[in-house]
Structure 1
Amino acid sequence: MPQPSCAEPPDALFNQSLAKGLQVLCAFNAGHRSLTLGEISQRTGMSKASAQRSVHTLQALGYIGKHPLTRRFGLLPRVVELGFNYLDAHPLITAAHSYLAQLARDSGETATLTEPTDHHMVYLAQVLTTQHIPVLTPVGTRVPMYASSCGRAYLSQLPGDQARALLLAMPRPARTRATLTEVGALEQQLQRSRDHGYATNCEELFLGDMGLAAPVFNVSGRVIGAVHVAPPTSRWSMADAERQLGPLVIACARSISQLAPVV
């Protein structure tokens, strides 16, 4: 999760205290489920006194708690309300749900709706397969655009110069040995997505995991997200996945686009 900036405020209405509180919440993630006050200070770049004030406020509001034995801080369930309020009010999720369910049923694989946020795609809604999946990526997961099928599907529908500028601006580390990181190679993938109507990813994010995605548009024809399925390499070859799942993903994305409001 990106860290909210506490640099020089852009205007007189910018609230430094609120920004610092958000920084503290964002300091926790899967690799840092619990933190000491010193670790929070270090991860946020805040002084220990400033971090302590923010932590105390978040404790009083019920967003952060302290373990009675380890004395380490951790997020509390109330944090989930912040994300749920966004999802609950998102009109695209309501429009997409039945089509995602149909895609998951027809494909036998997990179907996910995503939308862009900075240089990533965030998972908005998901219908899980009942079969084994090698990697759990629940709602709220963020994946980089350059290495994900959903990100490539989204980028493929932007003007070429805009897509290239985004690729150049984003970090592009190799997540696996299969990850494409060169802009030229990625632009070839975007063109392939335009030609076929869907984008692919084969073990570029996670070993054993593939992706096929198609772009979702709003009623004005602007790309606003993507739908993807995640067939594992244990059940599918990429050739079989493209032949059988590609048309299903395209049909699902088109159906959602017909109902998608301007968001």
Structure 2
Amino acid sequence: MSTEASTTSAGTLARGLDILEWVAEVERGSMSDLCAALGLSRSAGYRIVGQLRERGYLAEAGENHLRLGPVAIRVGLQALEGLDLFKVTPDHLRALVEDTEETAFVAVPEGIEMAYVMQEVGPQVVKVSSKLGSRAPLHASGLGKAYLSALPAAEAEEIVAGLDLVGYTPTTLTTVPAVLAAVERAREHGYAIDDSEREPGVRCLAAPIRDASRRPVAAISVAGPRDRILAAETSIIEAVVATARAISSSLGCPPPRPSR
């Protein structure tokens, strides 16, 4: 194959992948919108889309609209079968501990609580730890509020309204409005805080882990003595949020949608 032909093929492949990613993002889109969004001429758009439809990567979704086809769906499902929270998380968890020098945790939702499923202990002499399998309340843990923040607002409100908002310490949030306000702050900033709300003197910073559908499947946190966490809070937040995003990406979560 000549260099010119190879370059042309590579460009066509890139445009084809751009088209698939765009259709996956919008779920159902028209040809005119596709061409406008990707800067394609009408003729180039129809030519590449025609090839993708012939191969089963795209399919019709009503008049002049497109959706992912059965082949694209099958390829995606096969890729997802190889993705698993417990396979992709350990290396990220160890790196987070090396970066922050504090203990890191991963918890998954179990009913109205978060269950600790992974822990990497930090090197500090004074440290925080939790028994694997133990539970953390949604309203009184950074992990729980981080998980709630990644749910649709209405769903999070319904869950919080049904919780028994037990007060564990003087700083525990024990009213629905207070918990929802904390969840909304976590949604806005990308991380949640537990300021000695379940264990006196312990501060926790947490972020949600999402799957390929952007649904939260877990949360990750760093916790330690309150004063020590506060002293390094900015860098710990950055590390926790970056780690949560890296794990989410490994689970197939698309990049965050651009704000409108």
* Match in the other structure for 1:23: none
Q: Distance in 2 between matches of 1:177 and 1:114?
A: 24
**Secondary structure of 1:235's partner?**
helix
Q: CA RMSD in A?
A: 1.9
Matches for 1:35-54 after TM superposition, within 5 Å: none
Matches for 1:75-224 after TM superposition, within 5 Å: 91-133=84-126, 135-224=128-217
Gaps in structure 1 of 5+ consecutive residues: 1-89
- 1:220-248: CA deviation from partner (whole Å, max 9, x where unpaired): 211111110002124232xx443121110
Greater radius of gyration (CA): 2
Q: Distance in 1 between matches of 2:105 and 2:196?
A: 17
Distance 1:99 1:216, change over 3 A: same
Q: Distance in 2 between matches of 1:234 and 1:198?
A: 19
* Match in the other structure for 2:248: 257
1:214–1:253: 8 Å Cα contact kept in structure 2? Answer: yes
State the Cα distance separating 1:132 from its structure 2 match: 3.2
* Match in the other structure for 1:227: 220
- 1:165-187: CA deviation from partner (whole Å, max 9, x where unpaired): 11111111100011011111111
Q: Structure 2: which amino acid aligns with 1:246?
A: I
State the Cα distance separating 1:126 from its structure 2 match: 1.0
**Secondary structure of 2:234's partner?**
helix
Q: Distance in 1 between matches of 2:129 and 2:104?
A: 12
Q: Distance in 2 between matches of 1:251 and 1:184?
A: 29
Q: Distance in 1 between matches of 2:223 and 2:184?
A: 21
Q: Structure 2: which amino acid aligns with 1:250?
A: V
Q: Distance in 2 between matches of 1:135 and 1:157?
A: 25
Normalised to the residue count of structure 2, the TM-score between the two structures is 0.62
1:242 aligned to which of 212, 227, 233: 233
Higher helix share: 2
Distance 1:174 1:150, change over 3 A: same
Distance 1:208 1:196, change over 3 A: same
Q: Structure 1: which amino acid aligns with 2:241?
A: I
* Match in the other structure for 2:77: none
* Match in the other structure for 2:71: none
Q: Structure 2: which amino acid aligns with 1:113?
A: V
Distance 1:100 1:135, change over 3 A: closer
Q: Distance in 1 between matches of 2:233 and 2:228?
A: 13
1:135–1:206: 8 Å Cα contact kept in structure 2? Answer: no
Q: Structure 1: which amino acid aligns with 2:134?
A: T
Q: Structure 2: which amino acid aligns with 1:219?
A: A
Identity %: 35
Q: Distance in 2 between matches of 1:170 and 1:132?
A: 36
